[in-house]
């Protein structure tokens, strides 16, 4: 096998170093953070603030604000409150990319009868 000339080895080495230096600005770390929905004000209200059969729709609206969604059921209405949080990190390289995200949901649902009185409610864990 024939040995390469010294100038060719230097050129190959220079090209390799230049390619490595060019790849550095083409790599990045990313951080993802987003919150969607409404504030989790239902977590700040005491457990006995809402009483089934007594609390009205207006009282829930006053305490928690507008819901994410109002759902009309057969003979009931439901206020659905949702907060979605996404957190993540990633690595972007020239040849390899990696991204990891974690999404958590916090929710509360309040059911009202035809007269607008709280019939039931549930909170996410």
* Global pTM value: 0.68
pLDDT averaged over every residue in the chain: 86
Could you tell me the two tokens for 23? 């790849």
Q: What are phi and psi of 51, to 5 degrees?
A: -115, 125
pLDDT in tens, 1-60: 566 667 777 787 877 777 666 656 666 788 889 999 998 888 898 878 999 999 999 999
- Residue 84 burial (CB count, 10 A): 14
- Which DSSP category does 117 fall into? B
Could you tell me the two tokens for 38? 């409404």
Res. 97: pLDDT tops 60: yes
% pLDDT > 90, the chain = 54
């Amino acid at each position: 096998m024939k040995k390469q000339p010294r100038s060719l080895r230097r050129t190959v080495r220079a090209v390799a170093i230049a390619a490595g230096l060019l790849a550095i600005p083409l790599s990045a770390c990313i951080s993802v953070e987003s919150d969607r929905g409404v504030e989790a004000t239902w977590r700040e209200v005491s457990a006995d603030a809402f009483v089934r059969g007594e609390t009205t729709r207006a009282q829930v609206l006053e305490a928690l604000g507008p819901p994410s969604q109002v759902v009309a059921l057969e003979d009931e209405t439901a206020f659905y409150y949702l907060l979605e949080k996404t957190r993540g990190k990633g690595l972007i390289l020239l040849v390899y990319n990696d991204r990891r995200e974690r999404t958590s949901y916090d929710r509360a649902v309040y059911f009202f009868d035809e007269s607008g009185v709280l019939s039931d409610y549930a909170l996410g864990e």
